[in-house]
Amino acid sequence: MSTLAIATAREVFDLLRDDLVAIEQELGRDSACGVSTITEIAAYLREGGGKRIRPSLLLLSAHMLGYFGPAAIRLGTVVEMVHTATLVHDDIIDGADIRRGRPSANTTWGNEKCVLAGDWLYMQAFKVALEEKNLRVLDLLIGLTQQMVEGELLQIQRLGKAVSEAEYYDLIYRKTACLFSVSMRLGSVLAGATEAEEASLAAYGRAVGLAFQIVDDVLDLTATEEVLGKPVASDLREGKATLSVIHSVDHGTAADRLAIQKVLDDRGFERVSRAQIQEILLRNGSVEYAMTIAGRYAKQSLQALAPFPDSEFKRALLWLPDFVVSRDK
């Protein structure tokens, strides 16, 4: 396949098809447990789908640098298991009822079972990673887990508050972009990358991850429930101020700030309607601002790939930021 052909989601998927099939099979094997409840919850989560962006990043990073061994499948499985575990815990913390258009696992099995299943998935991910007998891999995964837990705790501390942009970027790095960045690092470690190569790929993952989460937060405010697969405006209902909201707090009128704070305080739209909030965001250009920032991070990610020679895998990585910014769910 010509490197110029990497231009669509289908072509990128075809490039990774065999690896992604192998990761799905590995996920099935690694999430089987003697305790049937864990196996059932893990299977339900796996069948819920997902874009598999994180393992794809790991695969593309490793393959671009010339590594095609089985460890890429194992560690691709590891990052997807870590991601799945975070989703389980997030749904419990947020009291979410819907995930990807289906009832969230905690609505079926309850919080107690699901939090333990999430813990088991974390530990199983580390058990699989141990097979590599690579301390660098474990160091990256431990640091990742600490960042994600710290991010969740910081977010809980800031619920109901209009945080600064700097605080927002720190939160979404810890909760989302860190896993993107570590996925790229893990692929580079398998390929024996230089420090400079690993740093460039980590910077790519960070920038793509930040763009991804900013767009995710915009879609929470602007998409329909049918497209999004979960209730819209969930962040505001949970007391979370995302980038568009922060922009309107910083650039809107006193009345705008008061209306937004009422929603954050109420954890709902009892006193201020969702339509009123959307009007405030539209009038202040706040959604457009957030999307501009997401586009800026997408461009940063492309710059991080400049040192690497052209290949099909680099072309796929060059395509991904545009997909992240232009998606509708």
Structure letter (DSSP) for residue 252? S
**CA dihedral angle for residue 83, residue 88, residue 92, residue 96, rounded to 10 degrees:** 90
Residue 161: helix, strand or coil by DSSP? Answer: coil
Q: Model-level pTM?
A: 0.94
Q: What is the pLDDT of residue 227?
A: 78
Q: What phi and psi values does residue 98 have, to the nearest 5 degrees?
A: -125, 140
Distance CA 281, CA 260 (A): 10
C-alpha distances in Å from residue 113, one per residue of 98, 100, 134: 17, 20, 32
Give all domains of the chain, ordered by start, each with its CATH number. 3-326 (1.10.600.10)
Distance CA 249, CA 162 (A): 7
Distance CA 10, CA 2 (A): 15
Q: Tokens standing for 62?
A: 């490793």
C-alpha distances in Å from residue 16, one per residue of 70, 213, 325: 14, 23, 21
Distance CA 151, CA 145 (A): 10
Number of neighbouring beta carbons within 10 Å of residue 328: 10
Going by C-alpha positions, the residue among 85, 97, 182 that lies closest to residue 125 is 85
Whether residue 316 contacts residue 282, with contact meaning beta carbons closer than 8 Å, is answered with no
Q: What is the pLDDT of residue 4?
A: 42
Distance CA 158, CA 151 (A): 11
Q: What is the pLDDT of residue 100?
A: 78
User: In three state form, how does the secondary structure of 80-102 look?
Assistant: HHHHHHHHHHHHHHHCCCEECCE
98: β partners = 103
Specify the residue for token string 């530990």. Answer: 123
Q: Tokens standing for 188?
A: 């580079």
Q: Give CA angle at 52 (7, 234), nearest 5°.
A: 105
Specify the residue for token string 């707090």. Answer: 249
Mean pLDDT by 10 residues, the chain (329 residues): 53 92 96 94 89 96 98 98 95 88 92 96 97 97 97 95 95 97 98 98 98 97 82 92 98 98 96 96 98 98 96 95 90
Whether residue 161 contacts residue 267, with contact meaning beta carbons closer than 8 Å, is answered with no
Cα-to-chain-centroid distance, residue 324:
11
Going by C-alpha positions, the residue among 226, 37, 194, 17 that lies closest to residue 121 is 37
Distance CA 75, CA 130 (A): 10
